Amino acid sequence: MKLDPSIEDWTTRLQSLFGDLPELLSLNALIALPEWSLIDDALARFMFYYPLFMAYVWMIGAMVYFWRHERRKAGDILEPPVLSKAPKVSILVPCYNEAENVRETIAYCAAQNYPHFDILAINDGSRDNTLEILQELCETYPNLRIINLASNQGKAVGLRTAALLTDSDYLVCIDGDALLAPDAILWLVRHFIKHPDVGAVTGNPRIRNRSTLLGRVQVGEFSAIVGMIKRAQRLYGRIFTISGVIGAFRKSALADVGYWSPDMVTEDIDISWKLQLAGWTIRFEPRALCWVLMPETLQGLWKQRTRWAQGGVEVLIRYFGSMWRWRSRGMWLLYLESVISISWSFLVFATLIFLPMELFHETHRERLEDLSPSWTSMLLSITCLIQFGVSLFIDARYERKTGGLARYYYWMIWYPIVYWLINVGTTVNGFFRAIRKKRGQRAVWVTIDRGLRQR
Site for another protein in 67-96 (CB under 8 A): 68
Instruction: Tell me which stretch binds another protein (CB under 8 A): 31-39, 206-214, 316-324, 428-436.
Output: 206-214
List of residues 6+ apart from 421 with CB closer than 8 A = 352
Question: Judged by CB, which is closer to another protein: 231, or 305?
Answer: 231
Cβ of residue 341: shortest distance to another protein, in angstroms? 17
For the segment 242-301, give every residue that binds another protein (CB under 8 A).
251-252, 255-256, 262, 278-281, 291, 293, 297
**Longest Cα separation, the chain:** 83
Cβ of residue 144: shortest distance to another protein, in angstroms? 8
Question: Judged by CB, which is closer to another protein: 312, or 399?
Answer: 399
Residue 403 Ramachandran class (φ > 0 left, ψ -120 to 50 alpha, else beta): left
Cβ of residue 260: shortest distance to another protein, in angstroms? 11
Question: Judged by CB, which is closer to another protein: 14, or 418?
Answer: 418
DSSP codes, 151-201: S---HHHHHHHHHHT---SEEEEE-TT-EE-TTHHHHHHHHHHH-TTEEEE
For the segment 123-142, give every residue that binds another protein (CB under 8 A).
135, 138
- Kindly provide the b/e burial profile for residues 55-86, where b requires at least 16 CB atoms within 10 angstroms of the residue's own CB: beebbebbbebbeebbeeeeeebeebeebeee
CB 90 within 8 A of CB 161: no
**What distance in Å separates the CA atoms of residue 279 and residue 44, rounded to the nearest whole number?**
38
Cβ of residue 353: shortest distance to another protein, in angstroms? 20
Question: Judged by CB, which is closer to another protein: 20, or 132?
Answer: 132
For the segment 431-450, give every residue that binds another protein (CB under 8 A).
442
**What distance in Å separates the CA atoms of residue 193 and residue 209, rounded to the nearest whole number?**
34
Instruction: Tell me which stretch binds another protein (CB under 8 A): 11-19, 105-113, 314-322, 338-346.
Output: 105-113
The backbone torsions φ and ψ at residue 94, rounded to the nearest 5 degrees and listed phi first, read -70, 130
**What distance in Å separates the CA atoms of residue 114 and residue 392, rounded to the nearest whole number?**
30
DSSP, res 2: P
Q: Total binding residues for another protein by CB under 8 A?
A: 79
**What distance in Å separates the CA atoms of residue 339 and residue 129, rounded to the nearest whole number?**
43
Q: Is 107 in the site for another protein (CB under 8 A)?
A: yes
In the set 10, 18, 36, 56, which binds another protein (CB under 8 A)? 56
Q: Is 157 in the site for another protein (CB under 8 A)?
A: yes
DSSP codes, 89-119: EEEEEEESS-TTTHHHHHHHHHT-S-SSEEE
Provide the Cα torsion 46, 48, 53, 55; round to 10°. 140
Instruction: Tell me which stretch binds another protein (CB under 8 A): 1-9, 27-35, 361-369, 378-386.
Output: 378-386
Cβ of residue 339: shortest distance to another protein, in angstroms? 20
For the segment 382-401, give every residue that binds another protein (CB under 8 A).
382, 401
Q: Is 150 in the site for another protein (CB under 8 A)?
A: yes
Instruction: Tell me which stretch binds another protein (CB under 8 A): 23-31, 159-167, 264-272, 339-347.
Output: 159-167
First CA to last CA distance, the chain: 65
- Kindly provide the b/e burial profile for residues 180-202, where b requires at least 16 CB atoms within 10 angstroms of the residue's own CB: bbebbbbbbbbbbeeeeebbbbb
Instruction: Tell me which stretch binds another protein (CB under 8 A): 10-18, 93-101, 163-171, 299-307.
Output: 163-171
In the set 89, 96, 102, 108, which binds another protein (CB under 8 A)? 108
For the segment 165-184, give every residue that binds another protein (CB under 8 A).
165-167, 169, 179
Binding mask 303-342 for another protein (x = CB under 8 A): ------------------------x--x------------
| Structural Rg of the chain based on CA atoms | 25
Instruction: Tell me which stretch binds another protein (CB under 8 A): 5-13, 308-316, 350-358, 377-385.
Output: 377-385
CB 410 within 8 A of CB 254: no
Instruction: Tell me which stretch binds another protein (CB under 8 A): 80-88, 92-100, 229-237, 345-353.
Output: 229-237
In the set 127, 356, 417, 439, which binds another protein (CB under 8 A)? 417
> Minimal CA–CA distance to 142: which of 179, 178, 113, 106?
106
In the set 144, 201, 392, 394, which binds another protein (CB under 8 A)? 144
Cβ of residue 431: shortest distance to another protein, in angstroms? 26
Question: Judged by CB, which is closer to another protein: 212, or 304?
Answer: 212
